[in-house]
C-alpha cells in the first residue's frame, strides 16, 4: 500500500471521526512493564479544534462504510461521500508510528458498521489486541462499542482497551426511532450492560486475586447528540442521569448536532446547535456529579430548558431566593457549594480559613470567589454590602451587565426551531 493511499485514507477517516467527541482519556492506570508508552498520568490529553471539538489521540474510524442509514450521521449509507477502510495492521502501524514520534498519546478508534456489528467489533478488538500483545503498547486505547455486538466481544474488548463507549446518539427512544430506524434501543443497552457487569466482576475479583486481568480501567462513557430532534434540556439531562446511575458511566458527552443532511426530520442546514447549549449541559452535568444537586432541582416541568444567558447554578439560586443570603462564616459546606460564583475549591478554602478568623469581602476575593455573582447571595464579616431588596430579575441584570462571558452574545435561533 502506497504512502499516498494511506494518507488519503487517514484524511477521510480522521475527518469522519471528528463528530465523535467522547474521547477524553482520564482515569486510566496501565503500568509500563517494559513495553512502549505509558497511559498512567496521561490524564486529560484531549485538545480542541476551533469549533470546540476534541481531536486528541489518534482519532479515526476503521471504516466509514456503513450498512445503516442514521439520518444525523455523515457516514450513513445513503450519503454520497468518499469511502475508505483501514486494514487492522494499518491502524496498528499508524498508531505506533505516531506514538514513537510523540504526536499522540493513544488511540481513539471507532467505525461505521460494515457487514455486521460483530464483524466490525471483532476488527476493532483485533487492533487493540495487536497493539497490546504484539507491539507491547501501553498507551491509552479508547474503543467504540458497536451497538448490537455480542457480550463475548465486549468482554474481550475490555481486556485491551482502557475505555469503552457506546454512543446513545439520540437522547429519546422516539427520536432514535425517527432518525435511526435500523437501530434498536436494546442494541445500545446490551453492550453497556455487558461492560458494566464485566467492570463490576473485575473490581470484586481483583480484591481477592491480584492477578485478575485488567478490564476497561477507565470505565465506559457515552455521547448524546443534542438538538437533532426537538428534545428539551430536561429530556437530555434526565436521560444522562439515568445512564450515569444505571450503567455507571464515567462520562456522558453532549454534542450539539451539526446539520449534515437536507432532511425534513432534522434542523435545516446552516442552523447548528449553539456551543452555549452544550456548555450549559456540561455545567448541569457537573452540578449533578459534584455539587450534590438533584436533576429535578435544575430541570423540571416549569423549567424544561436551561437559561442560555446565565449558568444553571445562578438560575437555580435566583429561583430559590428564600434560601439566601448565607452567612459565609457559618454555612454548611454543601450549601456554600450552591452559592453562584463559589466553586468547590473555594468552598474548601473558606472552610479552612474560617477556622482561624471571620472572613470579610477582602478575604473572599483573595480566596478567589466570583465576587460579581456571589455577593448577592452571601453575608460576611463586613458592613459594606449591596442593597438586599433587589428582585431576582434585577440581580440577573446586574450580573449580566458586569459579565464578560465569551458566550454573552452567542444566542442562536436553534432553540426556537422546534417551538414554532
Ligand atoms: S450506525 Fe453509526 S456510523 Fe452507521 S450511520 Fe448510524 S451513526 Fe453513522
User: Strand pairing partners for 327?
Assistant: 379
What local confidence, expressed as pLDDT, does residue 408 receive? 53
**Residue of minimum CA distance from atom 6 in ligand 1:** 70
pLDDT band at 202 (very low <50, low <70, confident <90, very high): very high
- 113 touches ligand 1 (CB under 6 Å): yes
SS3 147: coil
Q: Where are the beta strands (DSSP E) in 128-169?
A: 140-144, 163-165
Question: Average pLDDT in the 61-88 region?
Answer: 93
Which pLDDT belongs to residue 385? 59
- Expressed in angstroms and rounded, the spacing between residue 366 Cα and the centre of ligand 1 is 50
Q: Please choose from 68, 119, 178, 263 the residue to mutate so as to test ligand 1's pocket, defined by most ligand atoms within 8 A of CB.
A: 68
Rg, C-alpha atoms of the chain: 24
127 and 62 Cβ atoms separated by less than 8 Å:
yes
CA–centroid distance, residue 180 to ligand 1 (Å): 8
pLDDT of amino acid 56 = 67
Bridge partners (DSSP) listed for residue 63: 85
- Ligand 1 nearest atom to the CA of residue 74, by list position: 8
Confidence bin at 192 (pLDDT 50/70/90): very high
Report residue 9 as a C-alpha cell.
485514507
Measured from the Cα of 66, ligand 1's closest atom is: 4
The continuous run of DSSP H or E covering 20 comes out as none
Measured from the Cα of 76, ligand 1's closest atom is 5
What atom in ligand 1 is closest to the CA of residue 147? 1
**114 C-alpha to ligand 1 centroid (Å):** 10
Q: What percent of the chain has pLDDT over 70?
A: 86
Q: How many CB atoms lie within 10 A of CB 359?
A: 20
**pLDDT value of residue 169:** 85
Q: How many angstroms separate the alpha carbon of residue 181 from the centre of ligand 1?
A: 11
**Helix 392-401 × helix 312-319 angle, to 10°:** 150
- Residue nearest atom 3 of ligand 1, based on CA coordinates: 112
- Using an 8 Å Cβ cutoff, are 377 and 318 in contact? no
The interaxial angle of helices 117-129 and 88-100, nearest 10 deg, is: 40
> Would the pLDDT of 51 be above 60?
no
Would you say residue 38 has pLDDT above 50? no
pLDDT of residue 176: 87
Residue 322 grid coordinates: 428564600
| Alpha carbon of 147 to ligand 1 centroid (Å) | 10
Residue 84 sits at φ, ψ, to 5 deg, of -155, 160
Does the pLDDT at position 358 exceed 90?
yes
Phi and psi at residue 320, to the nearest 5°: -130, 50
**Nearest C-alpha to atom 2 of ligand 1 is from which residue?**
112
Pairing of strands 220-226, 251-256: parallel
Residues paired with 141 in a beta bridge: 107
Q: State the Cα–Cα distance between residues 19 and 61, nearest whole angstrom.
A: 11
pLDDT in tens, 275-326: 899 999 999 999 999 999 999 999 999 999 999 999 999 999 999 999 999 9
pLDDT band at 143 (very low <50, low <70, confident <90, very high): very high
CA torsion angle for 201, 202, 208, 213 (degrees, to 10)? 140
Hey, what's the cell of 348? Answer: 474548601
Q: Say yes or no to pLDDT of 102 above 90.
A: no
Residue 15 confidence (pLDDT) above 90: no
Distance CA 207, CA 209 (A): 6
The alpha carbon of 236 and the centre of ligand 1 are apart by a number of angstroms equal to: 20
Which residue in this structure is represented by grid cell 500500500?
A: 1
- Cell match 483501514: residue? 86
Mean per-residue pLDDT, 180-188? 86
Question: 366-399: per-residue pLDDT in tens?
Answer: 999 998 899 999 999 886 655 568 999 999 999 9
Tell which residue, 99, 104, 103, 121, has the closest CA to residue 112: 121
Residues 6 or more apart whose Cβ sits within 8 Å of residue 298: 237, 284, 287, 288, 306, 312, 315, 316
Q: What is the dihedral of CA 334, 340, 346, 350, to 10 degrees?
A: -60
Ligand 1 in reach of 73 Cβ (< 6 A): yes
d(CA 25, CA 174): 31
C-alpha of residue 170 to centroid of ligand 1, in Å:
12
Task: Name which residue leads in pLDDT, 419 or 361.
Answer: 361
Q: Is the CB of 70 under 6 A from ligand 1?
A: yes
Question: Do residues 328 and 314 make contact, with C-beta atoms less than 8 angstroms apart?
Answer: no
Grid cell at residue 231: 428534545
What grid cell was written down for 232? Answer: 428539551
Q: Which atom of ligand 1 is nearest to the CA of 111?
A: 3
Ligand 1 centroid distance, CA of 311 (Å): 33
Average pLDDT over residues 77-87: 94
Residue in the structure block whose three cell numbers are 453497556? 192
Burial class (CB in 10 A: 0-12, 13-18, 19+), 187: middle
State whether residue 61 is helix, strand or coil: strand
pLDDT class for 420, splitting at 50, 70, 90?
Answer: very low
The CA distance from 324 to 394, in Å, is 16
**For residue 181, what are the CA distances in angstroms to 81, 171, 238, 269, 351?**
21, 15, 23, 21, 53
pLDDT at 416: 36
pLDDT for residue 18 is more than 50: yes
Answer yes or no: are the C-beta atoms of 64 and 112 closer than 8 Å.
yes
Cell (9 digits) for 115:
457487514
Average pLDDT of the chain to the nearest whole number: 85
CB of 66 within 6 A of ligand 1: the answer is: yes
Does 80 score more than 80 pLDDT? Answer: yes
Which ligand 1 atom is nearest residue 73's CA? 8
Distance 240 CA to ligand 1 centre (A): 21
> Checking phi first, is residue 169 left (phi over 0); if not, alpha (psi -120 to 50) or beta?
left
Amino acid at each position: 500500500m502506497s504512502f499516498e493511499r494511506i494518507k488519503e485514507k487517514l484524511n477521510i477517516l480522521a475527518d469522519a471521526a471528528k463528530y465523535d467527541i467522547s474521547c477524553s482519556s482520564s482515569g486510566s492506570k496501565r503500568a509500563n512493564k517494559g513495553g512502549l508508552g505509558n497511559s498512567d498520568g496521561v490524564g486529560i490529553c484531549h485538545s480542541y479544534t476551533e469549533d470546540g471539538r476534541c481531536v486528541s489521540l489518534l482519532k479515526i474510524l476503521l471504516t466509514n462504510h456503513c450498512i445503516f442509514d442514521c439520518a444525523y450521521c455523515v457516514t450513513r449509507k445513503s450519503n454520497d461521500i468518499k469511502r475508505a477502510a483501514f486494514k487492522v495492521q494499518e491502524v496498528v502501524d499508524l498508531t505506533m508510528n505516531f506514538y514513537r514520534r510523540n504526536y499522540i498519546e493513544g488511540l481513539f478508534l471507532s467505525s461505521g458498521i460494515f457487514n455486521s456489528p460483530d464483524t466490525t467489533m471483532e476488527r476493532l478488538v483485533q487492533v487493540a489486541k495487536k497493539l497490546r500483545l504484539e507491539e507491547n503498547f501501553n498507551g491509552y486505547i479508547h474503543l467504540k462499542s458497536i451497538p448490537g455486538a455480542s457480550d463475548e466481544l465486549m468482554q474481550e474488548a475490555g481486556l485491551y482497551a482502557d475505555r469503552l463507549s457506546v454512543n446513545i446518539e439520540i437522547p429519546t427512544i422516539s427520536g432514535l426511532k425517527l432518525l435511526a430506524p435500523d437501530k434498536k434501543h436494546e442494541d445500545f443497552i446490551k453492550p453497556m450492560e455487558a461492560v458494566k457487569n464485566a467492570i463490576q466482576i473485575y473490581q470484586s475479583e481483583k480484591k481477592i486475586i491480584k492477578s485478575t486481568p485488567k478490564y476497561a480501567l477507565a470505565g465506559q462513557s457515552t455521547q448524546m447528540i443534542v438538538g437533532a430532534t426537538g428534545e428539551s434540556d430536561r429530556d437530555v439531562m434526565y436521560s444522562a442521569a439515568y445512564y450515569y446511575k444505571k450503567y455507571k458511566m464515567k462520562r456522558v458527552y453532549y454534542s450539539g448536532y451539526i446539520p449534515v443532511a437536507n432532511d425534513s426530520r432534522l434542523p435545516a442546514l446552516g442552523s447548528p446547535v449553539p456551543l452555549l447549549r452544550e456548555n450549559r449541559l456540561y455545567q448541569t452535568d457537573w452540578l449533578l456529579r459534584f455539587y450534590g444537586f438533584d436533576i429535578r432541582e435544575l430541570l423540571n416541568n416549569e423549567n424544561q430548558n436551561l437559561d442560555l444567558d446565565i449558568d444553571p447554578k445562578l438560575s437555580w439560586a435566583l429561583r430559590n431566593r428564600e434560601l439566601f443570603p448565607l452567612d459565609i462564616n457559618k454555612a454548611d459546606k454543601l450549601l456554600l457549594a450552591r452559592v453562584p460564583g463559589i466553586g468547590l475549591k473555594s468552598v474548601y478554602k473558606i472552610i479552612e480559613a474560617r477556622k482561624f478568623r471571620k472572613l470579610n469581602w477582602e478575604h473572599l476575593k483573595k480566596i478567589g470567589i466570583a465576587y460579581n455573582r456571589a455577593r448577592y447571595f452571601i453575608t460576611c464579616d463586613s458592613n459594606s454590602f449591596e442593597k438586599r431588596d433587589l428582585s431576582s430579575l434585577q440581580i440577573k441584570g446586574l450580573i449580566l451587565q458586569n459579565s464578560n462571558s465569551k458566550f454573552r452574545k452567542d444566542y442562536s435561533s436553534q432553540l426556537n426551531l422546534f417551538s414554532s
